[in-house]
Amino acid sequence: MASDAQTTTEYIKHHLQNLTYGQHADGSWGVAHDAAEAKAMGFWAIHLDTMFWSILLGAVFLWGFRKAAQRASAQTPKGFLNFVEWIVEFVDDNVRGSFSHKSDLVAPLALTLFVWVLLMNTMDLVPVDWIPQIAHLMGIEYMKVVPTTDPNATFGMALGVFVLTLFYSIKIKGVGGFAAELTMQPFQAKNPILKILFVPANFFLEFVSLISKPISLSLRLFGNLFAGEMIFILIALLFSGGAVLAIAGGVLQWAWAVFHILIVLLQAFIFMTLTIVYLEMAHSHH
């Protein structure tokens, strides 16, 4: 809930600020006390809250699925085991429908990304003041609990997928085949001179298409979740405006949370699906 000591702008900025650790101007290392200090820390600064929640949720995923695997049997699954098997079957069906090659990596990777991103997105449904207020009582000034609203997290996952795409493109097609894929299309010609002339234009177009994959993959996830978080923060401001606005805020918060469930699920699904598609393209000969 917005504090009386904070203006609306300060409240919004506070909720959008990460807990940042890095090197101060005097050479010492520590936690930034404000946005300007965090910005001055530069590239090597670390968002501690993003790291904490993403690792914690990843551990929850591993623990929960390990427990389900230990309880698996030939009998009809029930409860949480049934839910886990449904997710595994859902991901497996998507991999079979989009990936036509043989790989021991794609299905486990797709499952990991889908569940991990889904868990991180779901944190956006936690009321925006609950965890930050608890952190404040513990002496922690800033605490963003939705890792996917941090572009560092989404770009990190997208770059991981991008590296795998490059690796398998070169492994399956060879260096020459991958280079030809970047330089011999979309403009083609039988004349050797025209082929050479088309190389720069083809490379420019294909390079832009290649680089756009991790950028679009990361920004799509970040943009949708950041926008959803911003709306929750704006709705939370209503609770400090009196009883009538507080009731309106409660209704709006509930309505937006119900709608946002679709975004939470959809963005996890899109991230998984695009990863499968990119790896399918990497395994396919042109």
Any idea which residues carry the catalytic annotation? 216, 220, 224
Task: Using alpha carbons, list the distances in angstroms from residue 196 to 179, 185, 201.
Answer: 13, 12, 10
Q: Residue 204 is encoded by which pair of tokens?
A: 């420019």
How far apart are alpha carbons 49 and 242 in whole angstroms? 32
Which uninterrupted H or E stretch holds 30? strand 29-31
Query: Is 238:252 a contact under the CB 8 Å cutoff?
Result: yes
How far from each other are the two terminal CA atoms of the chain, in whole angstroms? Answer: 56
Name, in order, each residue with C-beta under 8 angstroms of 192's C-beta and a sequence gap of 6 or more.
none
DSSP 77: P
How far apart are alpha carbons 67 and 75 in whole angstroms? 16
Task: Using alpha carbons, list the distances in angstroms from residue 201 to 175, 180, 211, 246, 277.
Answer: 20, 13, 16, 58, 25
How far apart are alpha carbons 83 and 79 in whole angstroms? 6
Secondary structure (3-state) at 87: helix
Q: Residue 189 is encoded by which pair of tokens?
A: 């010609």
Torsion of CA 12, 18, 21, 26, to 10 degrees: -30
Name, in order, each residue with C-beta under 8 angstroms of 255's C-beta and a sequence gap of 6 or more.
none
